[in-house]
Amino acid sequence: MTLQPGMVFVVKTGRVVSNIINFCQKVKAVDNKSFYTHAGIIVGSYGKTFEALAKVGYGHIDHHKGCPILIVKHNGMTEELFKTAFDELKYLDGSMYPVPRLFLHLLGLAKFIHWKYPVCSELVAKLEHEAGLRRNWWGINPDNLADEWLISKHYTIIYQGKWEGHK
């Protein structure tokens, strides 16, 4: 499988905090379900990613090896559009993960109270916003992204399943 810059993903990690994230997402989910707990952006064809983990920065898709993952691409995302949109996110590289925003998500206030730094799913949604492919990006969680991607005609599913590593 060939990964391309501009593809985005959600993943269910095995971290302890993922159970807390899933519980909070499920409480607010319209379908009463939540599975994926983290989101990221693919920025290189060899699996290089840009994600908000402990810090916002570059990583690799294989960091999620063995985890369930959903990789998609918005049908309107071109290479040029990705470059322009991603340029608007680069300033976040190295910033600390905004842990207090998680409480705003839990309370349903994250879409109303905006800070300079987004959580992982807001980072993905911000990329799409900067590309002109999404209206809002504050308050978005990984479950929101997955639900939207799986039912929208605007996204192509690239991969869904247990991630065995980039080949």
Domains, the chain, in order of start with CATH, read 8-162 (3.90.1720.10)
Region 46-65: what's the mean pLDDT?
94
pLDDT digits (tens, 9 = 90+) for 81-140: 999 999 999 999 999 988 888 888 888 888 898 888 899 999 999 999 999 999 999 989
Query: Among 44-53, 113-122, 152-161, which is the least confidently predicted range?
Result: 113-122
Half-sphere exposure of 124 (CA within 13 A, CB side): 30
What's the pLDDT at 114? 86
Better-scored residue on pLDDT, 166 or 73: 73
What is the enclosing helix (H) or strand (E) of 39? strand 38-42
What's the pLDDT at 108? 83
Do the beta carbons of residue 68 and residue 162 sit within 8 Å?
A: yes
What's the pLDDT at 129? 97
Name the residue among 150, 128, 139, 162 with its Cα closest to residue 40: 128
pLDDT digits (tens, 9 = 90+) for 3-32: 999 999 999 987 777 777 777 677 677 777
pTM value? 0.93
